[in-house]
Amino acid sequence: MEDCLFCKIARKEIPAEIVYEDDNIIAIKDIDPQAPIHVLIIPKEHYESILTVSAGNNIISEIHIIANRLAVKFGIVDSGFRLVNNCGENGGQTVDHLHYHLLGGRSLSWPPG
């Protein structure tokens, strides 16, 4: 989408610290990290949220597989980590382009605020 922040990052029109990229996915460091490791895993194709991913689409599975690989890369497998998708206003979604947060490197409280 023309005016979408994460589409622009995927097209390299806005700079970001890229930690992983393939044909379908880009993963970047969050600009406002909430943990020592805070990576955003973003499909290059624009989906407004998980609600607009159709059945049979592999993108969510691909994102989870990349999250596993990034957890290994950043050394947070043994200590544990969290993979989060915020959906909609009450879910805390602020960028309307599907993405998952990979958070680790500190103990994360539960329930979330």
| Rounded Cα gap, residues 24 and 42, in angstroms | 9
Which position among 7, 53, 83, 84 is part of the footprint of Zn ion (CB under 5 A)?
7
**Which listed residue (38, 46, 97, 99) is catalytic?**
99
Concatenated DSSP letters for 81-99? Answer: EEEE---HHHHT--SSS--
Concatenated DSSP letters for 21-71? Answer: E-SSEEEEE-SS-SSSEEEEEEESS--SSGGGPPTT--HHHHHHHHHHHHH
Region of 42-50, 61-69, 73-81, 87-95 interacting with ligand 5GP (CB under 6 A): 87-95
Partner from ligand 5GP, Zn ion, none binding residue 35, C-beta < 5-8 Å depending on class: none
**Min separation Cβ 103 and ligand 5GP, Å:** 10
Task: Provide the binding-site residues for ligand 5GP, judged by CB under 6 A.
Answer: 5, 16, 28-32, 40, 86, 92-95
